[in-house]
Structure 1
């Protein structure tokens, strides 16, 4: 597919400089930048979908168990003796 774009002078200058620095043609650089943006968007969408599926998971017991495991792991794997999640502050700060 052929695509014609009207670029601002600033964007045109940026593409010309970047292409020159990378030893690429402007067309190749523009295609690489566009491809990278699309791939990044797809990865972000996939990550958001995965997180949403975890949020929508209605297994409350499993979520509680996972939360307790995470809290215990974070508190036990510390250089300091100070707990991140002290029991006396449960329901107050966490």
Structure 2
């Protein structure tokens, strides 16, 4: 696809400078920058979708069990006898 754009002078200067630094034509540099931008947005969208799927997977009971297990393991794996998450402080400090 051929695309004709009217670029502001500062953007044109930026593209010329980038092309010179990379040893590419302005067209190749512009295409590379555009491609990188689109690929980055696609990766970000996939990451957001994955995180949202974790949020939407609303198995609250499983999450609570996992949280309790994590707290227990952290307390059991300490060299000190002092617990990080004492039951009497639940709802107060954690």
Q: 1:8 to 1:66 in 2, by over 3 A?
A: farther
What is the aligned partner in structure 2 of residue 24 from structure 1?
A: 24
CA RMSD of aligned residues (A): 2.8
Q: 1:62 to 1:3 in 2, by over 3 A?
A: same
List alignment gaps of at least 5 residues for structure 2: none
What is the aligned partner in structure 1 of residue 53 from structure 2?
A: 53
Q: 1:28 to 1:62 in 2, by over 3 A?
A: same
The TM-score with structure 2 as length reference comes to 0.74
Q: 1:56 to 1:30 in 2, by over 3 A?
A: same
Out of 27-36 and 61-70, give the one that drifted further.
Answer: 61-70
List alignment gaps of at least 5 residues for structure 1: none
Q: Mapping of 1:1-94 within 5 angstroms?
A: 1-68=1-68, 86-87=85-86, 90-94=90-94
1:26-64: CA deviations, max 9, x gaps? 000000000001100011111111111111112112222
The TM-score with structure 1 as length reference comes to 0.74
- Aligned residue pairs total 90
Per the TM alignment, residue 93 of structure 1 is displaced from its structure 2 partner at its CA by 4.8
Cα distance in 2 between the residues matched to 1:92 and 1:48: 32
Cα distance in 2 between the residues matched to 1:5 and 1:73: 60
